[in-house]
């Protein structure tokens, strides 16, 4: 794949170094007659945004990275034997955006690379927004590791937290739990119970629950782990603990919640 030569020039890199905000959207290129070519083009460019752009944002305080829906950046944990062909490695590095205050990721797999990027900016990050993101981290202490938001929040808290973070938001449609039919027509009885709970209990963060459901309404092989975590509120409790830290920071730094 050939790239625009301007991306490699000192003048363009100097221009990037002066930006205070950077908000690229990686749109999926749709060529119905050559999907393989389109997918390769998208992957090549997505993997190049680090050296072409992110590596040179020396003064940026805001970074918004949005991937095409269905073509996510990042990886699910290595314990799973399936891989997503339409995903690419995350371009995020701790050396990028040294002055970063506001981070937004859209349609990302939140994996170990994303966690490391956040922790490497713990002295500057004030706001994080994760929109329509999947969790790619596993609970390592489980007999059978499974992907869980609890692991994400635990990593951030165990490393001392984020002392300047005063805003954190998870946005989504409630995940695969409700994507088939809002009436629950095609869902298993257990899935319907979970949907009703999510709709009635506003204290639960719906984007925490990405449950894979087949076209016949059957949940994924890790159903037992998913339902057990749901009713035990493990992910939710970890989220609540993390938000306690955020509210504490807001009170300490701004004088109010």
Mean per-residue pLDDT, 124-141: 84
Tell me the per-residue pLDDT of 104-114, one tens digit each, with 9 for 90 and over.
998 888 888 99
CA distances, 143 to each of 17, 33, 139, 146, 238 (Å): 47, 45, 9, 9, 19
Residues 147/80, Cβ–Cβ less than 8 Å: yes
Q: For 44-115, where are the E strands, in sequence order?
A: 62-67, 102-106, 109-110
Instruction: Check residues 223 and 156 and name the one with the higher pLDDT.
Output: 156
Specify the length of the chain in residues. Answer: 257
Instruction: Check residues 133 and 5 and name the one with the higher pLDDT.
Output: 133
Mean pLDDT of the residues in the chain:
77
Residue 127 backbone phi and psi in degrees, to 5: -145, 135
| Band of pLDDT at residue 76, cut at 50, 70 and 90 | low
Q: What pLDDT does 209 receive?
A: 59
Which letter, b or e, does each residue of 206-241 get, where b requires 16 or more Cβ atoms within 10 Å of its Cβ?
bbbbbbebeeebebeebbebbbebbeebbbbebbee
Nearest residue to 165 (alpha-carbon basis) of 124, 129, 205:
124
Residues 42/72, Cβ–Cβ less than 8 Å: no
Angle between helices 149-158 and 234-254 (to 10 degrees): 40
Tell me the per-residue pLDDT of 218-234, one tens digit each, with 9 for 90 and over.
445 455 566 777 777 87
Q: What pLDDT does 193 receive?
A: 77
Q: What are the helix (H) ranges across the chain? A: 10-17, 35-52, 112-120, 149-158, 189-200, 223-232, 234-254
H-run or E-run covering 22? strand 21-22
Q: Which two tokens stand for residue 199?
A: 């709709």
Q: What pLDDT does 248 receive?
A: 94
Q: How big is the CA angle at 204 (ends 73 and 112), to the nearest 5 degrees? A: 30
Instruction: Check residues 204 and 179 and name the one with the higher pLDDT.
Output: 204
Mean per-residue pLDDT, 144-160: 80
Q: What pLDDT does 178 receive?
A: 43
Residues 91/47, Cβ–Cβ less than 8 Å: yes
| Band of pLDDT at residue 145, cut at 50, 70 and 90 | low
CA dihedral 68, 52, 83, 204 (to 10 degrees): -50
| Band of pLDDT at residue 238, cut at 50, 70 and 90 | confident
CA distance 86 to 180: 22
Please tell me the pTM assigned to this model: 0.81
């Amino acid at each position: 794949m050939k790239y625009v030569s301007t991306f490699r020039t000192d003048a363009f890199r100097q221009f990037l170094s002066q930006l205070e905000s950077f908000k690229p959207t990686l749109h999926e290129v749709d060529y119905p007659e050559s999907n393989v070519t389109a997918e390769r083009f998208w992957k090549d460019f997505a993997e190049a945004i680090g050296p072409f752009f992110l590596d040179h944002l020396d003064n940026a305080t805001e970074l918004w990275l949005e991937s095409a829906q269905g073509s996510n950046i990042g990886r699910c944990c290595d314990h799973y034997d399936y891989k997503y062909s339409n995903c690419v490695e995350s371009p995020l590095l701790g050396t990028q955006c040294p002055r970063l205050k506001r981070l937004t990721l859209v349609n990302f797999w939140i994996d170990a690379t994303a966690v490391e990027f956040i922790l490497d900016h713990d002295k500057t990050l004030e706001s994080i927004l994760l929109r329509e993101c999947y969790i790619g981290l596993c609970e390592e202490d489980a007999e059978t590791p499974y992907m869980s938001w609890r692991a994400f929040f635990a990593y951030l808290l165990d490393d001392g937290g984020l002392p300047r973070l005063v805003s954190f938001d998870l946005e989504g449609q409630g995940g695969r739990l409700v994507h088939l039919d809002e009436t629950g027509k095609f869902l298993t009885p257990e899935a319907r119970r979970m949907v009703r709970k999510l709709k009635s209990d506003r204290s639960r963060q719906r984007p925490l629950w990405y449950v894979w459901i087949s076209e016949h309404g059957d949940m994924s092989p890790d159903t037992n782990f998913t339902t057990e975590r749901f009713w035990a509120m493990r992910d939710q409790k970890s989220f609540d603990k993390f938000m306690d830290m955020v509210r504490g920071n807001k009170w300490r730094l701004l004088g109010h919640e």
